[in-house]
Amino acid sequence: MTDSPLRHDWSLEEIQRLLDQPFNDLLFQAQSAHRAHFDPNAVQASSLISIKTGACSEDCGYCSQSSKYSTELEPEKLLPVKDVVKAANIAKEKGASRFCMGAAWRNPTDKNLDQVIEMVGAVHDLGMETCLTLGMLTDEQAARLKVAGLDYYNHNLDTSPEFYGEVVTTRTYQDRLDTLARIRKQQINICSGGILGLGESRRDRASMLQQLANLPQHPQSVPINMLVQIEGTPLFGADDLDPFEFVRTVAAARLIMPHSHVRLSAGRSNMSDELQALCFLAGANSIFYGERLLTTDNTEADEDRQLFKRLGIRFAETTVNS
């Protein structure tokens, strides 16, 4: 099948119209686009570990790792490489093809990066794809990660430019775009998406998707997170998002970024099997797999395997190093 050219000129009104469609029409279009580019019954699995937890100087209103909020999270120093390798081995045995390592930093120091680069090499030696989320990077640090063989770098936009100031004040939206540009310059695959349920409007969700789709290159991976409410953070007690709004956003992401992996990320432990199945129908084809994300619970691996069996879904092969 001949691919149509990928677009990077989506207007806000176009994406809003996609989201405003009757639900069945939107899902039909999204599933059709999904089948044109992917096996509809294969889902890529990534596992995520916190390699340095808490004591972050940022004030992201959803995050338990911020030093500005009183949560029950206990800060932890950077993990030893052997502990990371052990966790990666367990993830691989359970079916994960990519191992993501996250550190609660505004930006890493060069000394921190030395240790993290050692982790990247060790995980690569296991035959797994590697992903990092370390905060903002300099040009030199991005270049070092390229030399180290990093496959993916995660840096989410979180929400729309218009709503962003309601969620984060210690880092600008442009800071996030600049980090993505540094990663893209090094030709490292980009993982970037957002969080739903922050109190944003449907138009904000359309605006966030517009920012992602109109980047010079679509992110290879687009995580769509549902807010996990953490007591002690400003967003604890926020109104729950209508589940159908979540599915609509997944479907719109699939339509405007048809070659990207769209990942169900944080919040799956609070989703019903039926909601997750709708998301897969809408074009989601990646999950975080394992009992923990960075600091929040995730769906049990056995539950995922049981759900996949019921739906006739299988784990996809690796997407970068195959």
CATH assignment of the domain containing 50: 3.20.20.70
DSSP-assigned letters across all residues of 200-231: --HHHHHHHHHHHHTSSS--SEEEEEEP---T
Domain assignment present for residue 187? The answer is: yes
Q: What is the pLDDT of residues 90-126, one digit of tens each?
A: 888 877 788 888 887 878 888 889 989 999 999 988 8
Catalytic member of 63, 144, 176, 254 = 63
Per the domain annotation, does 321 fall within a domain? Answer: no
User: What are the residues whose beta carbons fall under 8 Å from the beta carbon of 162, sequence distance 6 or more?
Assistant: 204, 207
Write the pLDDT tens digit of every residue in 132-177: 988 889 999 999 999 998 999 999 999 999 999 888 888 899 999 9
Residue 7 lies in a domain: no
The count of domains in the chain is: 1
CB within 8 Å of 165: residues ≥ 6 apart: none
Q: Give Cα separations from 263 to 11, 141, 223, 232, 280 (angstroms).
A: 23, 26, 4, 27, 9
Catalytic residue among 100, 176, 248, 279: 100
Asked about 100 being catalytic, the answer comes back as: yes
Cα radius of gyration rounded to whole Å, the chain: 18
Which structural domain, as residue segments, surrounds residue 101? 17-315
Q: Is residue 71 part of a domain?
A: yes
Q: Which tokens belong to 201?
A: 């409007």
**6, 81, 108, 157 from 247: Cα distances, Å:** 22, 38, 35, 19
Residue 12 domain-assigned?
Answer: no
11 is a domain residue: no
Q: Kindly report the number of other CB atoms within 10 A of residue 187's CB atom.
A: 9
CB neighbour class for 26 (10 Å; exposed up to 12, middle 13-18, buried from 19): buried
Residue 279: active-site member? no
Domain contains 119:
yes
Each of the 322 residues of the chain gets a pLDDT tens digit; together they read 345 678 999 999 999 999 999 999 999 999 999 999 999 999 988 888 888 776 676 777 777 676 566 666 666 778 888 888 988 888 888 777 888 888 878 788 888 899 899 999 999 888 888 999 888 899 999 999 999 989 999 999 999 999 998 888 888 999 999 999 999 999 999 999 999 999 999 999 999 999 999 999 999 999 999 998 787 787 788 889 999 999 999 999 999 999 999 999 888 888 999 999 999 999 999 987 755 444 444 456 678 888 889 999 988 875 444 3
Q: How many helices and strands, by DSSP H and E, does the chain display?
A: 10, 10
Alpha-carbon dihedral sign for residues 307, 252, 271, 296: positive
**Active-site residue (options: 171, 191, 268, 279):** 191
- Selecting among 144, 176, 205, 263, the annotated active-site residue is 263
Catalytic residue among 131, 182, 268, 279: 131
Residue 261 lies in a domain: yes
Q: Residue 35: what residue type?
A: R
How does DSSP classify residue 99? Answer: E
Can you tell me the distance from the alpha carbon of 46 to that of 138, in angstroms, rounded to the nearest whole number?
Answer: 26
